[in-house]
């Protein structure tokens, strides 16, 4: 199958424009039925905590479903979502949503490690558990582990009871340019540690004042041995790469280091 990492120059708090641009980029990329499309963290609004403007009222979810069904692809998108519709919970969630080609929601993951240095933990609620979802390719089913940006810095998130079972780690991010070397090194480490493919989809462009954060793209796909298969520069683009997910399982069988992990 092919992975398509949409490295978007996100417009601040403009979901309509961002969704339209994603559709344009996918039109040009021509994903095949059964491919997996991965979008950056908060692709619809940018890394904004202005929940009055950013919480998805259903429009972004509907967009993801439309892209999945109309293109017959798996969509791995992100949005700010209300906290389970429970008014007693403090805040919204930074959420990843995976959708199948028939429009079924396969999994939703709420970011566990919120970026407190940037104020995220003061404005949003943390998720409480990890999840996986399954994608089909060449007659087999493979396990995808969703995570979001800052989660990458915490290797224990990717281990636990799912150790030795992950075929692909899929991460959407708004990772600033000044720490770009970190996500590259950490992505390679997570792929090697988990003997899994890694797809890290970052954004590009700039946030407005007062943060004025610059993003340099650099989205990349890594194989289970830590080899970088494809890597984007700083430009807005779709990074497309073919992978054979059976390679992850074959490597774990040939070199089952995960069995020696101490829990």
- More confident position, 173 or 123: 173
For residue 102, the domain's CATH number is 3.60.110.10
Quick one: average pLDDT of 10-18? 98
Of 224, 177, 238, which is closest to residue 36 (Cα–Cα)? 238
| Residue 88 reports pLDDT greater than 90 | no
Domain count, the chain: 1
Residue 44 clears pLDDT 80, i.e. is over it: yes
Quick one: pLDDT band at residue 160, thresholds 50, 70, 90? Answer: confident
Q: How confident is the model at residue 91 (pLDDT cuts 50, 70, 90)?
A: confident
Catalytic, 111? Answer: yes
pLDDT digits (tens, 9 = 90+) for 100-116: 999 999 999 999 999 99
pLDDT at 230: 99
How many Å apart are CA 148 and CA 159, to the nearest integer?
A: 15
Mean pLDDT, range 172-182, rounded to an integer: 98
What is the per-residue burial (b if ≥16 Cβ within 10 Å, else e) of 98-109? Answer: bbbbeeeebbbb
pLDDT at 90: 57
Q: Which residue has the tokens 């970026």?
A: 115
Query: DSSP 3-state assignment of 152?
Result: helix
Which of 111, 120, 174, 201 does the annotation list as catalytic? 111
Structure confidence by residue, pLDDT tens digits, 208-217: 998 999 999 9
Record the tokens describing residue 66, joined without a space.
Answer: 């439309």
Q: How confident is the model at residue 262 (pLDDT cuts 50, 70, 90)?
A: confident
pTM of the model: 0.96
> How many Cα atoms within 13 Å fall on the side-chain side of residue 11?
9
For residues 84-90, give the mean pLDDT: 50
The whole-chain average pLDDT of the chain stands at 96
* Predicted pLDDT at 241: 99
Is the pLDDT at 35 greater than 50? The verdict is yes
Q: Is the dihedral of CA 111, 113, 114, 115 positive or negative?
A: negative
pLDDT above 90 (res 87): no
Q: What is the mean pLDDT of residues 15-38?
A: 99
Residues 6+ positions from 26 with CB-CB distance below 8 Å: 4, 6, 37, 67, 71, 238
Q: Which is catalytic among the residues 19, 41, 108, 120? A: 41
Candidate list 19, 108, 120, 149, residue with the active-site label: 149
**Sign of the torsion formed by the C-alpha atoms of 59, 237, 67 and 152:** negative
What pLDDT was estimated at residue 85?
Answer: 55
Domain that holds residue 20: 2-260
User: Does the pLDDT value for residue 2 go beyond 70?
Assistant: yes
Query: 119 vs 112, 123, 124, 148, CA distance in Å?
Result: 14, 7, 9, 16
Q: How confident is the model at residue 83 (pLDDT cuts 50, 70, 90)?
A: confident
């Amino acid at each position: 199958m092919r992975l398509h990492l949409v490295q978007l120059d996100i417009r601040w708090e403009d979901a309509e424009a961002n969704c339209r641009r994603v559709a344009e980029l996918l039109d040009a990329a021509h994903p095949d039925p059964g491919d997996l499309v991965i979008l950056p963290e908060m692709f619809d609004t940018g890394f904004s905590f202005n929940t009055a403007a950013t919480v998805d009222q259903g429009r972004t979810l509907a967009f993801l479903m439309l892209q999945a069904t109309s293109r017959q692809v798996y969509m791995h998108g992100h949005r700010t979502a209300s906290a389970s519709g429970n008014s007693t919970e403090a805040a919204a969630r930074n959420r990843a949503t995976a959708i199948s080609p028939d429009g079924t929601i396969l999994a939703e993951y709420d970011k566990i490690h919120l970026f407190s240095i940037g104020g995220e933990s003061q404005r949003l609620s943390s998720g409480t558990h990890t999840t996986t979802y399954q994608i089909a390719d060449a007659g087999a089913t493979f396990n995808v582990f969703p995570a979001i940006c800052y989660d990458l810095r915490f290797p224990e998130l990717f281990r636990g009871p799912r150790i030795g079972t992950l075929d692909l780690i899929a991460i959407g991010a708004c990772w600033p340019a000044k720490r770009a070397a970190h996500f590259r090194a950490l992505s390679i480490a997570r792929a090697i540690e988990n003997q899994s493919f890694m797809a890290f989809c970052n954004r590009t462009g700039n946030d407005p004042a007062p943060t004025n954060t610059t993003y340099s793209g650099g989205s990349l796909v890594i194989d289970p041995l830590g080899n970088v298969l494809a890597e984007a520069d700083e430009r807005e683009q779709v990074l497309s790469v073919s992978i054979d997910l059976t390679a992850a399982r074959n490597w774990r069988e040939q070199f089952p280091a995960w069995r020696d992990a101490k829990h």
